[in-house]
């Protein structure tokens, strides 16, 4: 009985067409990263669990894929461990896990290589990560992250450059219908301060984060439930109703923040980022100051941002922020960093939905040589050699098959030209070149063939 | 107490310099694969264990990394399972594993996508695989494989093309000191037949495989131990002493194989591959017929080959062969395939040892703009914008630091030029461009700067 060729749920194969489109996105992003001075690194799929656990909250710990120790994995587990349930036994029989994001392994890398790395260190990293999440549309258990970070400087130029990079990357992908929401953790802290809600800061962030989904009214209700009084709520309400452009909103918030040192710092940071972005030519910029922006992950300490398509409902396609203490847990403190992560799957879906993949021309050969019998085959191999020596990507149909089958192969593989090689052609030394799209044919010598195909390459 | 930033044993980080060198190798291989009509696919890191187990022998099964089921993994294990030891319990608490090679997932992919795939299907795949092997020099638990396979044809043109690809790839890497050992499983079967050792075929293959390491005498001793008589041994001995070039060795073997149908088929296959390779221009080819070539893996059924450096001791850097029944286990029979796998780590070590990495110029920016104070910074950001608008990869030092520190940054990051921007330069509208290698300086306007750097790009 044959085994079913199934995949674990939440994982995917990428065939040639998907690879082409993914590489188009990844190559575009990579070339911009390089242009801005980011250098590539890669870290292993597996990390020690001590590196991973405790970094993503309890929920994150639950979503780690753990690797069973090799060999007699029970040798380190006592009879008591065996009876103590999954949570305890787990720690006795697995020491490694699959990486959950690229940021924590990057922090580990920086600390491990702190004497070789040149700070400020600008690195990019494009690799899969794994999360034991419930799979659903657009959410996978194995997916690529594509991150750029600068570590070892407090300069807000970095934030501005990341915004400019977003602009350049999406510009190169011919995608313009997005906005970048921008704020700072410090502004959230300021809001909590002027609401007298500093003790409830964590809850406040979680509830504000839902504003888009549940609306203002429900947010205010939930905040009331966690004990905020009507003064606090009306303060927040007035902030939420700020109108106008970025400058105007920032000016209004500045007045509201007269008594909040941290809030004013947050505003100054945003103003500086906008100013730098302006110097860097980001005029028509899609940058919107959004004081309700929260970003879930707890390690952010400064400026935060989130990129979403505006014309379709897709969720966040890129996001990031500044973190101050990421390497501290590995023994290197006082190092500030800032980064951005591009969501490749959602960018793929966005371009697809907006029909922005310029072409689906597979990366295939330019020409197929037919193969009808041993004689013609030997002749074709010789022509193939000459084509390849001229750097023309080319292939021969490997079997003696009917013409229809060979043309069908070229058609499905999107090979634009087919050279027909039969006994007449061999005798005449002139071969029939068939244009697969137009159906037109012409007779060419080998040299003419080479020149023709070189021109088309 | 800080956590140690350590990695699981047998795994590695790749920093910018290693990435550069690895990408040089991988990009070279990829471009040749494409030129010959191979298309990329990717499969997930995780596969169901049912896909992986039983494909690599008992030893392979032991080396699979297994992933602990998520959540309450013990819920599927009975009290009896808990007491039955690692081997039994393992199957109750893990359903997925990390892929062990690219070939089995490829077979699974082909069967799952058999109605969309165009046969003959030429695919390449470059991804990490994982083996719980004992780590040692040159052997890792996570390493990249780089495979090209053609599936769905018996044509020996494919074998010849793979040999030509090896030649073109290593040629592009400026590496010529290697040889390709070539034989066929059918020839081994023929040898077993004329030795009257067909029942001992599996053992014979294992012992012959050690010829390089232990020498002829010990091989004959071991064969005697498994019950082969002196007639058999003297038959083998005469084969091992064949002298001359490929044609001469093949002719001698043909006489020895008069009574072995399968052996003669093997010879015919080799002759045909050599003939096709010749038609494809592989003249100075490093191809050596080696009748003792065995290749461990059991799924090979036809032509087999192995590439080794000749001037250094490095082991196999690429290898492969034809397999007839790989997709059968997943329910698709009658499909023959042939492939080659390049060992990226050993190719890396080989190029390194032979000093064949052309340059260690990091993929970095072309120019660094200095940053001394707020005024100069604003000015620099503006110049940076203009440089980037002209597609010149460039960056600004993000902090107001001393010149020495900024030059040191450029030096370590191998940035070839630094533009010094101080108050005098700003006033004059002419900036000092420093050539970091030569130490020379010149004064240029922004336009001149752009033209100069564009010319150098």
> What's the CATH number where A332 sits?
3.30.930.10
DSSP string, A146-214: EEEEEES---THHHHHHHHHHHHHHHHTT---EEEEEEEHHHHHHHHHHTT-GGGHHHHHHHHTTHHHH
Distance from CA of B137 to the nearest CA of A (A): 18
For chain B, positions 417-436, list CB contacts with chain A under 8 A: none
Region at B174 (left for phi over 0; alpha for psi -120 to 50; beta for the rest): left
Whether residue A399 and residue B130 make contact (CB cut-off 8 A), yes or no, is no
Residues A304 and A450 in one domain: no
Looking at beta carbons, which residues of chain B come within 8 Å of A384?
280
**The last residue of a domain, from among B327, B353, B379:** B353
**The last residue of a domain, from among A322, A353, A384:** A353
DSSP string, A422-450: -HHHHHHT-EEEEETTT--EEEE-HHHHH
Residues A224 and A262 in one domain: yes
Q: What is the pLDDT of residue A221?
A: 95
User: Residue A429 sits in which domain range?
Assistant: 363-456
Q: How many CA atoms lie within 13 A of A281 on its CB side?
A: 15
Report the candidate in B378, B383, B379, B389 with the shortest Cα–Cα distance to residue B417. Answer: B383
Mean pLDDT confidence for A205-214: 88
For chain B, positions 312-351, list CB contacts with chain A under 8 A: 328-331
Position B5 in a domain:
no
Nearest chain A residue (CA) to B126: A19
Position A52 in a domain:
yes
Q: What is the pLDDT of residue A285?
A: 67
DSSP string, A361-384: --S--SEEE---SHHHHHHHHHHH
Report the candidate in B57, B59, B305, B291 with the shortest Cα–Cα distance to residue B161. Answer: B305
Place of tokens 């080396």: B63
Looking at beta carbons, which residues of chain B come within 8 Å of A2?
328-331
DSSP string, B194-261: HTT-GGGHHHHHHHHTTHHHHHHHHHHHHHHHTT--HHHHHHHHHHHT--SSHHHHHHHHHHHTTT-H
Nearest CB to A46; choose among B4, B142, B388 = B142
Residues A314 and A378 in one domain: no
Question: Cβ neighbours of residue B71 under 8 Å, at least 6 residues apart?
Answer: A62, A86, A132
Position B3 in a domain:
no
In degrees and rounded to multiples of 5, residue A176 shows phi and psi of -120, -10
Mean pLDDT confidence for A54-61: 85
Residues B260 and B398 in one domain: no
Q: What is the pLDDT of residue B146?
A: 97
Alpha helix positions (H), B99-225: 103-112, 157-172, 185-194, 201-208, 211-225
Whether residue A123 and residue B4 make contact (CB cut-off 8 A), yes or no, is no
The secondary element (H helix, E strand) that includes residue A338 is strand A337-343
For chain B, positions 70-129, list CB contacts with chain A under 8 A: 70-75, 82-83, 85-86, 89-90, 93-96, 98, 108-109, 111-113, 116, 118, 120, 122-123, 128
| pLDDT 10s digits, A386-441 | 999 999 999 999 999 999 999 999 999 999 999 999 999 999 999 999 999 999 99
d(C-alpha B26, C-alpha A373), whole Å? 36
Residues A181 and A237 in one domain: yes
d(C-alpha A34, C-alpha A28), whole Å? 10
Q: Are B370 and B420 in contact (CB under 8 A)?
A: yes
d(C-alpha B221, C-alpha B208), whole Å? 11
Chain B contact for A413 (CB, 8 A cutoff): yes
Q: What is the pLDDT of residue A158?
A: 97
| pLDDT 10s digits, A74-92 | 888 888 888 888 888 888 8
Q: What is the pLDDT of residue B285?
A: 66
Q: Are B441 and B456 in contact (CB under 8 A)?
A: no
Looking at beta carbons, which residues of chain A come within 8 Å of B82?
82-83
Q: What is the pLDDT of residue A346?
A: 93
Report the candidate in A371, A303, A308, A311 with the shortest Cα–Cα distance to residue A339. Answer: A303
Region at A191 (left for phi over 0; alpha for psi -120 to 50; beta for the rest): alpha
Whether residue B72 and residue A86 make contact (CB cut-off 8 A), yes or no, is yes
Return the CATH number at B432: 3.40.50.800
Q: Classify the complex by whether its ipTM is higher than 0.90, answering yes or no.
A: yes
Interface test with A, best of B37, B74, B162 (most A CBs within 10 A): B37
Provide the residue-wise pLDDT of chain B in tens; the chain has 457 residues: 678 899 999 999 999 999 999 999 999 999 999 999 999 999 999 999 999 998 888 888 999 999 999 888 888 888 888 888 888 888 889 999 999 999 999 999 999 999 999 999 999 999 999 999 998 887 899 999 999 999 999 999 999 999 999 999 999 999 999 999 999 999 999 999 999 999 999 899 889 988 988 999 999 999 999 999 999 999 999 999 999 999 999 999 999 999 999 999 999 999 999 999 999 988 766 899 999 898 876 689 999 999 999 999 888 999 999 999 889 989 999 999 999 999 999 999 999 999 999 776 677 899 999 999 999 999 999 999 999 999 999 999 999 999 999 999 999 999 999 999 999 999 999 999 999 999 999 999 999 999 999 988 7
Q: What is the pLDDT of residue A387?
A: 96
Distance from CA of A440 to the nearest CA of B (A): 23
DSSP string, A52-106: HTTSSHHHHHHTPPEEEPSSSGGGG--HHHHTS-HHHHHHHHEEEEE-S-SHHHH
Distance from CA of A200 to the nearest CA of B (A): 29
For chain A, positions 38-67, list CB contacts with chain B under 8 A: 39-48, 50-51, 62-63, 65-67
Whether residue B39 and residue A362 make contact (CB cut-off 8 A), yes or no, is yes
d(C-alpha A252, C-alpha B108), whole Å? 61
Going by pLDDT thresholds of 50, 70 and 90, the confidence category of residue A360 is low
Going by pLDDT thresholds of 50, 70 and 90, the confidence category of residue A362 is confident
Looking at beta carbons, which residues of chain B come within 8 Å of A128?
45
Position A10 in a domain:
no
Chain A contact for B405 (CB, 8 A cutoff): no
In degrees and rounded to multiples of 5, residue B296 shows phi and psi of -60, -50
Residues A320 and A429 in one domain: no
Position B4 in a domain:
no
Position B72 in a domain:
yes
Q: What is the pLDDT of residue B151?
A: 97
Q: Are A102 and A129 in contact (CB under 8 A)?
A: yes
3-state DSSP assignment of residue B114: coil
Strand order through the sheet with B178-184 = B39-40, B121-130, B142-151, B337-343, B318-323, B300-309, B178-184, B287-289
Q: What is the pLDDT of residue A136?
A: 86
Q: What is the pLDDT of residue A1?
A: 63
How open is the CA angle A118-A99-B72, to the nearest 5 degrees?
A: 155
d(C-alpha B380, C-alpha B419), whole Å? 9
Question: Cβ neighbours of residue B5 under 8 Å, at least 6 residues apart?
Answer: A51, A108, A109, A111, A112, A330, A331
Nearest CB to B112; choose among A5, A43, A66 = A5
d(C-alpha A44, C-alpha A127), whole Å? 9
Place of tokens 């036994």: A89
Report the candidate in A214, A220, A278, A201 with the shortest Cα–Cα distance to residue A246. Answer: A278
Residues B56 and B201 in one domain: yes
Q: What is the pLDDT of residue A389?
A: 95
Chain B contact for A24 (CB, 8 A cutoff): no
Q: What is the pLDDT of residue B48?
A: 97
Residues A331 and A379 in one domain: no
3-state DSSP assignment of residue A272: helix
Q: Are B453 and B367 in contact (CB under 8 A)?
A: yes
At A434, list the tokens.
Answer: 């068939």
Q: Are A418 and A434 in contact (CB under 8 A)?
A: yes
Whether residue A68 and residue B67 make contact (CB cut-off 8 A), yes or no, is yes
Interface test with A, best of B44, B90, B148, B421 (most A CBs within 10 A): B44
Residues B294 and B415 in one domain: no
Going by pLDDT thresholds of 50, 70 and 90, the confidence category of residue A3 is confident
Between A and B, how many CB-CB pairs are < 8 A?
A: 300
Q: What rounded mean pLDDT belongs to chain A?
A: 93
Question: Cβ neighbours of residue A262 under 8 Å, at least 6 residues apart?
Answer: A186, A189, A190, A193
At B358, list the tokens.
Answer: 């052309």
Whether residue B153 and residue A75 make contact (CB cut-off 8 A), yes or no, is no
Distances in whole angstroms, Cα of residue A179 to Cα of each of A36, A267, A289, A321, B40: 21, 20, 10, 16, 34
Distance from CA of A220 to the nearest CA of B (A): 35
Looking at beta carbons, which residues of chain A come within 8 Å of B44?
7-8, 11-13, 142
Q: Are A185 and A298 in contact (CB under 8 A)?
A: no
Residues A51 and A120 in one domain: yes
**The last residue of a domain, from among B353, B386, B402:** B353
Q: What is the pLDDT of residue A452?
A: 96
Place of tokens 């501290």: A328
Number of domains in chain A: 2
pTM: 0.92
Q: What is the pLDDT of residue B441?
A: 96
Interface test with A, best of B398, B409, B414 (most A CBs within 10 A): B398
Mean pLDDT confidence for A164-178: 96
d(C-alpha A197, C-alpha A239), whole Å? 15
Position B391 in a domain:
yes
Nearest chain A residue (CA) to B53: A3
Position B10 in a domain:
no
Q: Are A288 and A270 in contact (CB under 8 A)?
A: no
Residues A228 and A279 in one domain: yes
Residues A342 and A392 in one domain: no
């Amino acid at each position: 009985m044959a085994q079913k060729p199934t995949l674990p749920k939440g994982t995917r194969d990428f065939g040639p067409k998907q690879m082409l489109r993914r590489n188009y996105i990844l190559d575009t992003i990579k070339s911009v990263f390089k242009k801005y001075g980011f250098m590539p690194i890669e870290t292993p799929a597996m990390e020690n669990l001590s590196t991973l656990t405790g970094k993503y909250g309890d929920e994150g710990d639950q979503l780690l894929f753990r690797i069973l120790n090799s060999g007699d994995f029970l040798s380190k587990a006592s009879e008591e461990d065996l009876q103590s349930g999954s949570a305890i036994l787990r720690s006795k029989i697995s020491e490694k896990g699959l990486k959950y994001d690229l940021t924590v392994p990057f922090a580990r890398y920086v600390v491990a290589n702190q004497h070789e790395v040149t700070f400020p260190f600008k690195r990019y990293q494009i690799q899969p990560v794994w999360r034991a999440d419930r799979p659903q549309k657009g959410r996978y258990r194995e997916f690529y992250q594509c991150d750029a970070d600068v570590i070892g400087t407090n300069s807000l130029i970095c934030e501005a450059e990341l915004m400019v990079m977003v602009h350049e990357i999406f510009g190169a992908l011919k995608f313009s219908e997005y906005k970048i929401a921008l704020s700072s953790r410090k502004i959230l802290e300021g809001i909590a301060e002027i609401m007298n809600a500093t003790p409830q800061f964590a809850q406040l962030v979680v509830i504000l984060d839902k504003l888009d989904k549940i609306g203002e009214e429900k947010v205010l209700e939930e905040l009331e439930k966690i004990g905020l009084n009507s003064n606090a709520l009306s303060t927040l309400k007035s902030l939420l109703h700020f109108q106008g452009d970025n400058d105007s909103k920032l000016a209004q918030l500045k007045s509201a923040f007269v008594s909040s040192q941290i809030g004013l710092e947050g505003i100054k940071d945003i103003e500086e980022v906008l100013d730098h972005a302006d110097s860097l030519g980001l005029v028509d910029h899609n940058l919107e100051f959004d004081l309700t922006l929260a970003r879930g992950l707890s390690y952010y300490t400064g400026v935060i941002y989130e990129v979403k398509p505006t014309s379709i409902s897709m969720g966040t396609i890129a996001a990031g922020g500044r973190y101050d203490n990421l390497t501290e847990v590995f023994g290197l403190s006082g190092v500030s960093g800032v980064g951005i992560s591009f969501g490749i799957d959602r960018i793929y879906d966005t371009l697809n939905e907006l029909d922005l993949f310029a072409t689906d021309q597979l990366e295939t050969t330019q020409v197929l040589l037919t193969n009808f019998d041993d004689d013609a085959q030997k002749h074709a191999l010789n022509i193939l050699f000459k084509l390849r020596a001229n750097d023309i990507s080319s292939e021969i149909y490997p079997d003696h098959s009917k013409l229809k089958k060979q043309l069908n192969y070229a058609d499905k593989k999107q090979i634009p030209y087919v050279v027909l090689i039969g006994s007449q052609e061999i005798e005449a030394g002139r071969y029939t070149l068939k244009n697969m799209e137009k159906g037109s044919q012409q007779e060419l010598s080998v040299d003419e063939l080479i020149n023709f195909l070189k021109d088309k390459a």
